[in-house]
Amino acid sequence: MRDRIQVTVENTQAVADALRKYGKDAEREIGRAIDKMGLAVTSDVKRKIQRGPKTGVIYNRRGKQHRASAPGEAPATDTGTLVSSIYTSKINPLTIEVGSRLEYAYYLEFRTINIEPRPSWQPAIEENRAKFNDWIEDALRKAAR
């Protein structure tokens, strides 16, 4: 895929320092927190596409009425192809990838010349940021025991 939606975790040096301090238990616990974040983002992206509010135009497609999303709303599901393309993949113990197998997912998130953005990934990440921080703190507390 040419275009990707990426999430970069900042302060990785602090995580690396914590891992050295706490050892393998910290790596395992932080890995679990990262897994939880990946699953939470995946679930929220799908939910936003399938059930989020849609206020765009209504049109007929394949003999059925469809309401599109308006700019700023998550894409409106139609065939289910976008939702079924979303995946979570464990890259290594401390890296999880959440993505879509469809190139147009990127363009829906960020825009094209003709279409305003229909974000679902960035809002899902932001909505889970505080929980992720809590999960990391819990992971370090568990590892310290």
From the first residue on, what is the mean pLDDT of each consecutive set of 10 residues in the chain (145 residues)? 58 67 80 92 96 91 88 93 93 86 92 94 94 90 79
Residue 1 lies in a domain: no
Residue 73 lies in a domain: yes
d(CA 102, CA 3): 10
Give residue-wise pLDDT tens across range 69-98. 999 999 999 889 999 999 998 888 888 889
Q: How many domains does the chain have?
A: 1
Residue 10 lies in a domain: no
Residue 63 lies in a domain: yes
pTM of the model: 0.84
pLDDT for 16 equals 67
State the residue range of the domain holding 25: 18-144
pLDDT for 78 equals 87
Residue 3 lies in a domain: no
